[in-house]
Amino acid sequence: MLLVMRVLHIAMGVFWAGTMMFNAAFLMPAVRDAGPDGAKVAAALARRRFMDIMPWIAALTIVSGVWLYWFDSVGFRPPFMRSRMGISLGVGALAALIAFVLGVAAMRPAMTKAMRLGQDPSQQAAAQALRVRAGLLGRVISALLGIAVVAMAVARYI
């Protein structure tokens, strides 16, 4: 079970963090630069259920991470949680949880609405404003996931 959870946590975490960083640094700016044609890319992502799949990837990462933290801490024992490793893992977990909440509660609704409004030529300005908001949220989420990745990568060594 430990190996399954580690592989699940690492694989899903790499996918989640990498996808969000790619989106924030490359995809969203390219979609913005493409102007009205950028809506076609967003529509293609919607057809592939990107906005539905990413929350599940993030949730699997978090659930497996909680299980691993429980395992490493032998049932969330305070001495482990106060150790350098426990604190580092906790900081990473907190950053990932904040990223998840921002993604599900703010970024996903903004992108979903932007995709819907982008289909109506009279709503392009509103759709663009939502894309800008989602782009900012994407950069914040990427930074939080970067913190999570670094904190978890170094936890065993500090």
Instruction: Work out the percent of the chain whose per-residue pLDDT is above 90.
Output: 74
Give the model confidence (pLDDT) of 29-71 as tens digits.
Answer: 998 888 778 778 878 888 999 989 999 999 999 999 999 999 9
Distance separating alpha carbons of residues 41 and 27, to the nearest angstrom? 9
Domain carrying residue 145 = 2-157
Distance separating alpha carbons of residues 88 and 158, to the nearest angstrom? 8
At residue 125, the pLDDT reads: 86
Total domains in the fold of the chain:
1
Q: Does 115 have pLDDT greater than 90?
A: no
Question: The pTM is what?
Answer: 0.92
Contact (Cβ atoms closer than 8 angstroms) between residue 51 and residue 23: no
The whole-number average pLDDT for the span 5-10 is 98
Give the model confidence (pLDDT) of 59-107 as tens digits.
Answer: 999 999 999 999 999 999 999 999 999 999 999 999 999 999 999 999 9
At residue 32, the pLDDT reads: 83
Give the sign of the dihedral formed by CA 12, CA 15, CA 18, CA 23: negative
Residue, of 84 and 118, whose pLDDT is higher: 84
Element (H, E) at 116: helix 108-118
Give the model confidence (pLDDT) of 133-158 as tens digits.
Answer: 999 999 999 999 999 999 999 999 99
